Amino acid sequence: MKENKIMDPFYVEISCENGNVSPPARLISRKLSDLVGLFYDQDAYNRALADDNPVLYEVYEVRVPEEEGHLLSCTTVIYPGKVGKEYYFTKGHFHVLENRAEIYTCLRGQGYLLMTTRAGKTHSIAMRPGISAYIPPYWSHRTLNCGEEPFIFYGVWPGDAGHDYESIVEQEFPLRVFEENGQPVVKIK
């Protein structure tokens, strides 16, 4: 590699309070309407959407090339709320290159990391500040906020991993978390 082609080191500052990244990173905002067909209770989803279309989560992505060798990273902020009894969650995905792993480290709030394999194995990890979870290659992953404040985590993954959302739409995510008697309960559906 020619010296003049090598990227300069840099840093960002992350707010554990609201997940903001500065200098400003790319912001992706997902609203209730972006998660059509994903929640368990479709009637509750339609009722909620008729009422309002709130932002469920935001992602602040640090900009580096999406290429082999680089590491991508972002904060994800999931706001508190439910559709019916099911907590707000992310769309969830496999990596397009399925043998690419990822690390999620919780900065604020309470949540769950849900994971599944194509063959139907499932695993969940309760997340709270300081918990750093390893998502091995070949596991799809979805996160949710089961607390009353924003749930914020920092994720790091290989630059060439890519996101496959279609598989999650086609084959329902088998793990769901509902509120029962004020407590989150993980269920295999």
Among 63, 70, 128, 163, binds ligand PAN (CB under 6 A): 163
Give whichever of 92 and 109 is closer to Zn ion, judged by the CB atom. Answer: 92
DSSP 79-126: PS-EETTEEPB---BEESSTT--EEEEEEES-EEEEEE-TT--EEEEE
* Rounded Cα–Cα distance for residues 61 and 28 (Å): 8
Give whichever of 85 and 93 is closer to ligand PAN, judged by the CB atom. Answer: 93
Minimum CB separation of residue 122 from Zn ion in Å reads 17
**Cα 28 versus chain centre, distance:** 12
Q: First vs last Cα of the chain: how many Å apart?
A: 50
Give whichever of 24 and 180 is closer to ligand PAN, judged by the CB atom. Answer: 24
Among 45, 112, 139, 157, binds ligand PAN (CB under 6 A): 157
Stretch 43-102 residues interacting with ligand PAN (CB under 6 A): 59, 74, 76, 90-93, 102
The alpha carbons of the chain give a radius of gyration, in whole angstroms, of 17
Stretch 84-103 residues interacting with Zn ion (CB under 5 A): 102
Per partner kind, with CB cut-offs from 5 to 8 A, the member of ligand PAN, Zn ion, none near residue 59 is ligand PAN
Alpha-carbon distances, residue 77 vs 19, 41, 56, 189 (angstroms)? 6, 23, 9, 26
By rule CB under 6 A, what string of x and - marks binding of each residue 3-32 to ligand PAN?
A: ------------------------------
Query: Taken in order 81, 155, 152, 62, is the CA torsion positive or negative?
Result: negative
**Sheet containing strand 183-188, strands side by side:** 82-83, 86-87, 175-180, 183-188
Give whichever of 82 and 100 is closer to Zn ion, judged by the CB atom. Answer: 100
Minimum CB separation of residue 91 from ligand PAN in Å reads 4
User: For residues 91 and 113, is the Cβ–Cβ distance under 8 A?
Assistant: no
Minimum CB separation of residue 21 from Zn ion in Å reads 17
Binding site for ligand PAN (CB under 6 A): 59, 74, 76, 90-93, 102, 141, 143, 155, 157, 161, 163
Enumerate binding residues for Zn ion (CB under 5 A).
102
